[in-house]
Structure 1
Amino acid sequence: MRRGVVVLDRLIGTIVALVLVALGGLAIAWRYGELPGLGDRIEVYAPADPTGTEWWPWATGTAGVVLVMLGLWWLVRHLPRRVGGRFSLPGGDRSGRLSADAHAAVGAAAATLAQRPEIRDGSGRVVADRGELVAELQCTVEPSADLQDVHTTVSRVVTDLSRVIGLPNLRYRVLLRVARADKTAVQPRVS
């Protein structure tokens, strides 16, 4: 997610929260008679019915389209961006560029993790999240796996990946899912 989207989400959330707290406080103060000048009842007058006018369908249609477009824009801005896989590395000479394919390196790291008996499968990708590059590894772990062994294995692979890619600003995220049942466990058959 981009940093601007996070700031916008927090700002809108804060404004909505403050408005709701203020309305709740006003309702409680009115209920207990702490607001001078207000009676025991609130009278609400209905405005004229605009739905019969000629402009109403156009106004509601336009507002609906604008709200749908804003909602779609908001959802798209929350999707993590997959970034280009090739990154320039320091140390290239005048005759050419030295570059690394980070997607291939992250995929190879995930495949290395998947070769371990306690890890069932793995995948990886490089995304831009909150303005930073993140190498994301996703693995499914066997339920009987020793988490300390998994941690040691993942730490070693991430260290190797960091050395291979060589980007100082690359962050890492490892997502572990636990499988429902061991793939080596024999499931009893019901006849």
Structure 2
Amino acid sequence: MRRGVITLDRTIGTLISLALITAGAFALCWYYNVFAAAPTELTTHTPRDYTRTTWWPWATGATAIALLLLGLLWLTRHLPTRTNANFTLTPGNVNGRLLADANAAVTAAAQGLSNRPEFRDGSGRIRLDRGQLVAELHCTIEPSADLTDVHAAVAQATQNLQTVLGIPTLHHRTHLRVARTNKPAPPPRVH
């Protein structure tokens, strides 16, 4: 998502949260009679019947259309961005065109990491994040893994990925999760 959408979501979420917290605190204070001047009963009066006026259908229609457009705009801003992960390689032969599937390369890099003893599993994909092409690696490491070895392995994998794809604007992001327990050792084989 773009920064503006994230900022708007956080602002609206914060305002709604504050309104709900304020309403809850006010209801508790009213229930326990914290406000001495507050009435102990609420009386309601019948409001004027605005539905019979000439402007009511126009106002409700305009409000409904505005809310519909706002909802559609919100949904389109939150749609995931699709990235074409096929890239043309530099021409080595003038008779054809070579394409590389970047998602396959990122997945292979993550699976290569998962073959190491420090890593349990891995996956990867290419994303378009705020206008930047990002290769994301998602890996789970063992709790007993040496972080120096993990860092070296991830740095080597991203360097190899950069070499294989040859996209100078490619950025890398690695998400590491730590497993709760070490992987149990495989049972001994009986011959």
TM-score above 0.5, yes or no:
yes
* Secondary structure in structure 2 of the residue aligned to 1:184: coil
**TM-score, L = length of structure 2:** 0.66
1:166 aligns with 2:169: no
Partner of 1:62: 65
Contact 2:82–2:127 at 8 Å: present in 1 too?
yes
2: distance between equivalents of 1:73 and 1:51? 35
Partner of 1:124: 124
1:61–1:7 CA distance, 2 compared to 1 (3 A): closer
Could you tell me how far 1:13 is from its partner in structure 2?
A: 7.8
> Please, which runs of 5 or more residues in structure 1 have no aligned partner?
15-47, 186-191
1: distance between equivalents of 2:170 and 2:134? 6
2: distance between equivalents of 1:126 and 1:83? 7
The share of aligned pairs that are identical, in percent, is: 47
Contact 1:89–1:167 at 8 Å: present in 2 too?
no
Please give the per-residue CA displacement for 1:67-101, whole angstroms capped at 9, x wherever unaligned: 3212212222xx3x242221112233320113322
The amino acid of 1:6's aligned partner reads: R
Partner of 1:6: 3
2: distance between equivalents of 1:49 and 1:12? 36
1: distance between equivalents of 2:110 and 2:94? 34
1:180–1:85 CA distance, 2 compared to 1 (3 A): same
Structural mapping, 1:23-38, within 5 Å: none
**TM-score, L = length of structure 1:** 0.66
Partner of 1:18: none
Could you tell me how far 1:66 is from its partner in structure 2?
A: 2.3
Structural mapping, 1:108-119, within 5 Å: 108-119=108-119
Structural mapping, 1:1-191, within 5 Å: 1=1, 5-7=2-4, 51-53=50-52, 54-55=56-57, 56-76=59-79, 79=80, 81-184=81-184
Partner of 2:44: none
Q: Which has the higher contact order (CA 8 A, sep 6+)?
A: 1
Could you tell me how far 1:180 is from its partner in structure 2?
A: 1.8
1: distance between equivalents of 2:139 and 2:172? 14
2: distance between equivalents of 1:127 and 1:11? 22
- What RMSD over aligned residues (CA atoms) do the two structures have, in Å? 2.9
Please give the per-residue CA displacement for 1:2-50, whole angstroms capped at 9, x wherever unaligned: xxx3256558989xxxxxxxxxxxxxxxxxxxxxxxxxxxxxxxxx957
1:12–1:155 CA distance, 2 compared to 1 (3 A): closer
Contact 2:5–2:77 at 8 Å: present in 1 too?
no
Please give the per-residue CA displacement for 1:163-190, whole angstroms capped at 9, x wherever unaligned: 11111111111111112222228xxxxx
